[in-house]
Structure 1
C-alpha cells in the first residue's frame, strides 16, 4: 500500500526538471554533464525524501543541483572545460568577442572548483541562476546575512584570482 502523503514523483520531476537542468548547465557548460547531474539530483532527492520530510522541494532541488554540479566540476579538474556556453555567446558578437566570452566562462568554471563549497554554491546561484539573497538563503537554509557575507568572500577571491590572471599587481 502506498503512502498517501508521498509525492507524485512524476509531478515533482516535471515541476523541477527544467530548473535543475538549467542550474547544472550554467555551472557545467555541458548538456551531457547537466543531464547526468539532473538524474543524480532526482535520485538523491528521492533518497532525501525517504529519510525524512522535505520542507521545500524547490529549495532541495536548487541546493542539490548546485552542489552536485560543483562536485562534478571538481571531479573533472584537469580535464578540458566544455566550450558549450550558449548563454555567453550572442549572435551579435564577432568571433573575437565569442572567444573571449567562452574563455572567460571556462576560466570562471575552473575557478569555482577552487572555492570552498558554500562560496561556490552561493556564487553559482547568484550569478548563474540569478537568485536573490533571500532565495539563496531559503534554498541553502542560511540567513540572508550569511549569504551576503559568503557572496562577498567568493567575489573577492575570484576578483583577486582574475587580477593574477590579467597580471594586475595592484
Structure 2
C-alpha cells in the first residue's frame, strides 16, 4: 500500500459522496434516482472494498462500481421503455405511406424513419431497441462481429436523427 488511506468507512463516504452523487445526477437527471443510485454505489462497494485501500484505489473502485450500477439502472429502465415502444408500434403498413406529420403518433414516425433506412441499419435498430437484443445477440443474429454491430447502430442512429429532422 502506497499513499494515504482513509481512517474509516465514514471518511470514505464523506470524501466521495459529493462526486458520486453529481455523477449520478448528471447521468439520470433527477434527484430521487440519483440519490438511490448513489446509495446503491456505496452499499455495493462496502463489502468488497478494503478500508486499508489508498485514496486513489478507493476512488477508482467507486467509479467502476458507479459505472456498473448505472449500467444496471439503464438496462432495467430501457427494458421498460422498450415495452412501451412496442405497444406504440402497430404491425402492418403505414396509413398513407407519406411522411409523418406533427399530429402523427410516435408509431407512425418510427415506422417512417425505419422504412427510410438501409436494411442493415433498420435491422440493427429493430433488434437493439424494439426487440431489446444485446449488442452481442444482435451481432449474432445479423452474422457480424459485435464491433461491427456497434458501428452499424451508431451510424443508423445518426442517419435516423438526420432523417428525423426532415420529417414535418
Scaled by the length of structure 2, what TM-score is found?
A: 0.45
Structure scoring higher RCO (CA < 8 A, sep ≥ 6) equals 1
Scaled by the length of structure 1, what TM-score is found?
A: 0.45
